[in-house]
Structures are given as structure tokens and as C-alpha cells.
Structure 1
């Protein structure tokens, strides 16, 4: 009967919120009515993306995913199963990664790497002699395979295994990984994945990075063909949602959970639900849900920008260094260069998109404002030794003092989902893992 159906609120329409809402709405036993709240005027999974307009014709053309949502075999197992279930097609584009130093805002490449080693022979940066380049390649190979071997055979220390959490900084010191390799190769590559400063990355739990490196070793990387909006469309079919609704508080009232929100006109509303699922970042959780205010303050976040623009001045020489050496078959699309430009503390990535636009993520050097097409800003959840313990305790994996009164996932029928809601890198796979956790707790079959 309709009266027996449980009322569920999902706050947030990113990947985790939409996946959880989809699973519960499609419960084979039809036990849930799902209401989704989103503070923006559109669903947020694809809200930061941008449809590029052709400068000559004025017609809208390619959809640019911001940020790029690449995924790899070996790590994104649940995500790939979901894409296959929906018939979402994805491909393995060829990328050229140019590692560069930023000198007076100019990118000066010191190494060029092709994804999946599709380019043979390897590309040599202009201005680097053959002898210097060969020495660099040999040095890099030794360091890379040493680090890879350590990832498989030298287990990072954790609270569970050793009573203390080993950071990435401590781990690379323990395995004696040369600082030159750390500074010029490992940190630029990994901080482009985590979109944070080098210092913040070194504070990550070592187990996160080691597990990611181990599981993605020699695996292909993919992107969704046609953009992530195709995923959003599949997940949101038939969705009951309230847009422009800023949730201001989530409170337990007896056996129910009360959600309060304001609309775009400033009008306040409240409603009682049987379950509330928070698919938002830790800072938002802490702001609206009092039991987690203190715990969420200890989970680091940062603000990240992705800028679509046509300011080629910084990479023009580096780009020429790539294209003058490139070759590809007539039946192949050209590779896509990604310039990873670093200063002493951070790395920005500049993607030469096939649409002839540049996409700079985590910019650290100025971009000509007259050449900026679009800017998206989003919150990135980071990891630390302390936050790993908090997250693991909330989700029942901690060996912490059992007398602790810290809130645990599901207490009072309030649940957390998101890329940060699992013991691993803050990635889309965490969204699927946390959504599946809620489904299992509510005895709902996951369809993929």
C-alpha cells in the first residue's frame, strides 16, 4: 500500500546522490518514495560542465566535462559495471602528458609521456640533448619501477596494522625514493589526479596512493563518450526533485528525520522523512547536521577551479615540441596533450581539447581574462591521516575506542554518501561504494 512506503530524502545530486536515489526508486519491492533536494537550479552531476559554442557559426557544439571524469580498470569496478548496465559507452583516448616547469609563466617541458606508451619512439622535449634525455629516461625508469615494486611489496603502515598512520611523505622517505623523482614526477602526476597542492598530497595516508597505484598499474583509462550528462540523464529518469532548495538543517524528531530548506525566494519549508541521505561534501554536512559538526571540521577540503579558455601563450612552445614529433594513422584521431605545469608547491593541468579550447584545472599562473570562455568552481575533499580515522569510524571500520560517542553512519536513519565516504582515494568509485552500502543496509538490490 502507498501508506506503507518509506519516505526518503536525498540531499545533493552529484554522482553519489543520484546513484543512491536511483537504486532506492527502483527497489523491486517498491518500498520507497524518494525526494531529491538540490540547491542549484539544475542537477549537479553535470552542472559544472560547459557546452562550447563555435566562435564562427555561433552554434553550440561539444560538451566539455568539468572536471574530466576519467576512470581506470582495476580501480573503478563498480562504476564500470553501472555504465555497462545503462549502456553508457566509453573510450580510451590517447593522451600525451608533458611535464613542465613554470618559469616566468612559460611552460618548459622536461619530460613527455604518452598514455599506454602508444607513441614509439618516446618524444624528446625541445632544448634537451639526446644524452641528457637518455640519462633522464634511464633515471626515471629505475625510480618508477622501484616505486612500483614498493607499492606491491612494501605495505604502508596504518593505525590498524601498526598503531599509527603513515603519510605519503613518510612512506617515500622510508622506501628511500629519490626526492628529485618525487618532486618532478610523482607529485605532479598524482596532484593532477587529486587536484590539490603538493604539501596537501604528501599529507595523504600512504595507503591511499599505494592502493591506487597498485590497482591501476598497466590498466587502461577511459572517459565517457558524449559527456557525463548521459550518465546524469539515465540516473535522473523519473526523479522527483526540488531544485533551488538549499537545505539548512537535518534533525532527528522522534523516529523521523526533519529536513528544513529555503527556496530561491527565501521561503522556508520543513518536511519529515523516514530516511535522509546526505550526498554532499563534509563542510556542508557539518553545517546542516549538528551531530557531525565537529567531526566534519577535521576533514580537509579545498576549492578548485576549471577554466575553459583560449590563452595558448603559456604552452605554445611546449605544444610545438609535441606536435612536431607526433604521427598517427589516418584512421586514428590525434592524441590529446595534457600539460602538467608545476612550480615549487603545486601543479596545474592544461588539457588541449580536440575542440581547440584549453581546459586548465587548478590554475597556478594567470590566464588572460579576455580569453576565458567559462570558469567552474567546485569543492574537492582531501585526505589526511586524521580524516581517514574519522571516516573509518563513521563507516564502521575503525579500531578506535568503542566507548567513543562519535556518530556512525545510519544513526537516526541519517546516511552519508559520496566519493569521500569510503576508505580510499576521493574518486567516483567511492560514490558507488557508499551508495551500495546504503542499499545493502536497507536491503535493496543493486541492479548492476
Structure 2
């Protein structure tokens, strides 16, 4: 360093500047301490729930950290394992190969799951075209004798080939099949055309999640002219329910939103086509019953049909564990608190204290993100309970098992990858995962034996002799949020409350679309952007989407 303090010779030194003064000046400049940058702020965030919504929120916040702000994210889950994989199992198939089975099955379609696909690609995850094939069957029960008859009425080869893997059901005559195929083709083309060119009334669309207009509470209406008309209509409808202040005003934006049933009736879609194809497919995908999907906003189904037309369905190559590993790679192990059931939140001015069950530690954070079921949010944070009370949910049962009898009702020639059977209001789906391993969602009892008292037995134990308890590898019951007008209204109310007191909500239901994985990633991005804005401008008003 000694030579660095000596002056650098100049080819034309100034006559008024001596060598000693130059050296002195150089030494002073070297001894002057550099200007220090402001210290990096650490902002602690608690994410309650480790499903895809919680994991994606934690990942996006971690990636948002920079030289100015470091987001110290802590994940909490009452389960001993990450929620996104907590119900999945490892099983050995008929060929002796060990397989990891995602529960429930998590396929995602091109065109609709744009954010999920973008997230997986950014993580370097590999996924493949599932190339599903389908069989459609109908169960006709004889409640008097406790017997039933199942008829396969259609098979679809999907992207593997319409005729090679689809074709005529084994017990359906050729003439009848040709007549039926002609009718199915006509109504499928008609259904595709109306969903492509006719918007349901009400105008709700998941597409507005991509480019929201915060300037208006009625951003979901397509055009400014429509928005103004709709605003006036809703205010007129609401005027008879008492006066409301500007801050307290709550307008039911679900008024006038057309249901799927209303939409299909308006366009005179044949009832048999609805019952045999439209509702079984969407019931299987949304894991709900027929009446629920028919009450859902028509725009949900119309948008899904339009965006996924001729698009493939994908599955992760290495199951959900690969996604979990990638999403949590940058989170310190000590920041993932599994087996920590959050019991309550305590506000302390600008921070929150998170208290967990059976753990003495208290966690002090700035932001809290709820990524759990609405019912659980209401338990943990009372101010949101009135907003969430109108959200309905149903319980969905999923069995992973090895009982080959589950498809005995089908002719072996009719068995496909996804086998749908409808009975009244319910739809059961059995997915042939691997040789000898099946996943049955919403299982039903087919052949039930009446007891001496007249009550049917074996309905919940072996489903009419179709799934023996010994063959069950895992049994899971999920709380599935139902897409109703009440949910539409609740989501809009939650939008206006996002970030209030630094409380945020993410989840598959927290967007205007079908309750699917895409909603998890969409809402996670919304929450992340809101926290970023609040962190960079603490005085900013609550974030509105």
C-alpha cells in the first residue's frame, strides 16, 4: 500500500502545485471513508399454510428480496409434512416398481393454467403431456332390490387418437353407436361455438386477473360503456336495501351473473348432452356434484372450455415433491415450521405476534398471509369471518388402492385412463395411475345389500364390494371450496380488504375462476406485489386488485 500513497506523475504538472501538496492530497483522498449505502431492511412475513398458494407466496417473496429489502419468510403448517404433498403416498405397482402417487391428482391444462406453467418453467421443472383417455358410464340403481346396472355410453381417445383409443363401447350396437356419435359430434361443435363466441351474462372472467383495472370496482365488466351501465343497474338494485356510507357500501356484484344452467338453457343445449358430457367432465375436474357445477358462474366453465380447446393436459414428471423442493430451495430450514398449528394472532402496533400450539416460541412478523381454507381463516382472524361466512365448501373423499374390482362394472375393453361414472347428482372418477394402482375420487357404492332392518350396508366400508379396506393405501378427505355466487361476492370483498392491517389472503378460491391450482399461483402473485408495494411505500393505501 506504500506505493499507492505516492503521487502519480503527470505529464504536464501544474506549476502552482508542488509534489508534496500532491502527495498530501492523494493521502487525504485515500483516507476518506467511502459513502455507505443504507442498511438492508428485513421484513418478516408469516405464511400460514403450505399448499401451492402458501409455497408460491413464500417463493415469490424470497425472489423479491434485493439490496434494499430482505423478506424473511416463515411457513407454518399444523401438519407434520408440507401440505402440497401431505396426502400423497408411495406404492409398489403390479410390476414391483415403486411409485409416488400425488393425492389428489394434479394435472394442469395448457391455455388456462398459464401462471402455473410459467412458474414450473421458471423453476426448471419438467412436465409431460398426460394424453388421457376417457370412458363415460351411467349407473342405474334399483333401490328396492339393492342392485344396479352400469352402462358405458361413450369412450374418448383424446390426444392418443379418437378412434384408436376411443371408439365404440363393447356392449353398444354399431347402428346405435353411429347415431349417437353423430348427435355427440353435432352438440360438441355447437357447444364449442357458443362458448367461443358468446359471453355469459355478468361478464366475470378469470382473464381480468391478468390486467385488472384498480380505478373501478367493476373492472370485471368488459367495456367502459358496459361498466357504467352495470354500475347504475347494481346501484339501483341495491338502493332498496337501506343507505350505506361510502366506506361501508357493499354492492353484490354477483347479481346478474349467469349460472352455467341458465347459460345452457338460454342456448337450448340438449339436456342429455349436459347430463352425459358437460357436467360429468367438470364435476370430475372440480370434484363437486352436478347441482354445484350447474349453479357455478357460467363464465368459469366457458372460459375453461375456450382456453383449453385442443390444448394438452400436463403432469409433472417427478410428482409434487419436485415442485416443493424447488419452491423452498431458498428458504432456510429453520423457517419452515411443520407441526406448528397457529392458535392466534396478537396485534402489536405495526407488527403481529404469531402464537402456535404446543410451542413456547412467539413469532413477531410484519405481514401475515393466510393460505388456508376460508373456514380456518375465520377461526384465526375474526374480522374476516363476516366476509367469509357465505363461502360454501364440500368434503371430497379420495382413495388410493389396489383393488381391481373397482372397475368390475366395466367391460375390460371399455377401461381407459380416466373412468367416469355418474349416478344422479354424483360423479365418481377412477384413474388408472400405474399397473394395479388406482385413485378413486368420490367413490360410490354400486351393489348394496339391505340389512334385516332395511338399511343398506357396506356403503362406507367397501363400497358395495368394490374396494376392500385391506387394499386401501391412503384415504383422504379434502375441504373443497364451492364456486357459488356467495364466493364471487366474498372474493370481491376480500380484494378490498387485502393488506388491511398487513393481513393478506391467498388460495385456489381467491380469484374469479374455477377453484383450481391456477388460482393459487394468481393470488400468490397478487399478495406478493401488494406486500412489495407496502414495503416500499409504508404510507400506501391498502392494496387493491
TM-score normalized by the length of structure 2: 0.73
Q: 1:252 & 1:211 partners in 2: Cα distance?
A: 41
What is the CA distance between 1:317 and its match in structure 2?
A: 5.3
Aligned to 1:440: 529
Per-residue deviation, residues 35-72 of structure 1 (Å, max 9, x unmatched): 11010001111111110035786xx7100111111111
Question: What's the counterpart of residue 426 of structure 2?
Answer: 346
| 2:152/2:414 contact within 8 Å kept | no
The answer on whether the counterparts of 1:298 and 1:386 sit within 8 Å (CA) in structure 2 is yes
Please give the secondary structure, in 1, of the residue aligned with 2:397. Answer: strand
* Conserved? CA contact 1:339–1:351, under 8 Å: yes
Q: Could you tell me which residue of structure 1 aligns to residue 340 of structure 2?
A: 245
Give 1:92's aligned residue. Answer: 129
Tell me the CA shift for residue 249 of structure 1.
2.4
Match of 1:363 among 443, 450, 453: 443
SS of 2:256's partner is coil
Write out per-residue CA displacement over residues 210-237 of structure 1, whole angstroms, 9 at most, x where no aligned residue.
1111111111111001211110111122
1:391 aligned onto 2:491: yes
CA–CA distance in structure 1, aligned partners of residues 304 and 366 of structure 2: 37
Relative contact order, higher structure (CA 8 A, sep 6+): 1
Residue 407 of structure 2 aligns with which residue?
315
For 2:149 and 2:82, the matched residues in 1 are separated by 38
2:155: which partner in 1? 112
Q: Is the 8 A contact 1:50 1:63 kept in 2?
A: yes
Does residue 18 of the first structure (1) align with residue 55 of the second (2)? yes
- 3-state secondary structure, aligned to 1:158: coil
Larger Cα-atom Rg: 2
1:38 aligned residue (69, 73, 77) = 77
Q: CA deviation at 1:319?
A: 5.1
Kindly report the root-mean-square deviation, in angstroms, between the aligned alpha carbons of the 2 structures.
Answer: 2.1
CA distance in 2, matches of 1:250, 1:75: 36
Distance 1:62 1:291 in 2: 44
Q: Distance in 2 between matches of 1:375 and 1:106?
A: 26
- Other structure's SS at 2:86 match: coil
What's the counterpart of residue 233 of structure 2? Answer: none
- What is the count of residue pairs matched by the alignment? 416
Is 2:86 the counterpart of 1:47? yes
Q: Which runs of 5+ in 2 are unaligned?
A: 1-37, 141-146, 204-220, 231-254, 446-462, 534-545
1:98–1:109 CA contact under 8 A, matched in 2: yes
Corresponding residue number in structure 1 for 2:392: 300
Deviation of 1:106 (Å):
5.7
- In the alignment, structure 1 segments of 5+ residues that lack a partner are 324-335, 397-407
Within 5 Å, which residues of 2 pair with 1:129-148? 129-148=173-192
Deviates more, 1:110-119 or 1:39-48: 110-119
Q: Deviations over 1:236-275 (max 9, x none)?
A: 2243111111112234332222322203xxx565433100
Q: Structure 2 vs 1, CA of residues 54 and 347 (structure 1 numbering), >3 Å: closer, same or farther?
A: closer
In 2, are the aligned partners of 1:166 and 1:385 still within 8 Å (CA)? no
Paired position in structure 2 for 1:288 = 380
Selected match of 2:269 from 159, 169, 177: 177
**Shift in CA distance, 394/128, structure 1 to aligned 2, threshold 3 Å:** same
Which residue in the other structure is 1:415 paired with? 504
Partners of 2:89 and 2:473 within 8 A in 1:
no
Q: Distance in 2 between matches of 1:34 and 1:286?
A: 22
Find the residue that maps to 2:44 and give its secondary structure.
strand
Residue 218 of structure 1 aligns to a residue whose secondary structure is coil
CA 1:370–1:309 in structure 2 vs 1: closer, same or farther (change >3 Å)? same
Equivalent of residue 429 in structure 1, options 499, 505, 518: 518
Q: Distance in 2 between matches of 1:364 and 1:102?
A: 10
Distance 1:268 1:167 in 2: 49
What whole-Å deviation, never above 9, does each CA across 1:152-189 have from its counterpart, x for those lacking one? 22211127566512111111111111111111111111
Cα distance 1:244–1:120, how it changes in 2: closer, same or farther (>3 A)? same
Residue 308 of structure 1 contacts residue 360 of structure 1 at CA under 8 Å; is this kept in 2? yes
State the Cα distance separating 1:338 from its structure 2 match.
Answer: 1.1
Question: 1:337 maps to what in 2?
Answer: 417
22-31 or 283-292, larger mean C-alpha shift: 22-31
1:234 aligns with 2:333: no
1:51-66 maps to which residues of 2 (within 5 A)? 51-53=90-92, 61-66=98-103
In 1, Cα distance between equivalents of 2:385 and 2:402? 42
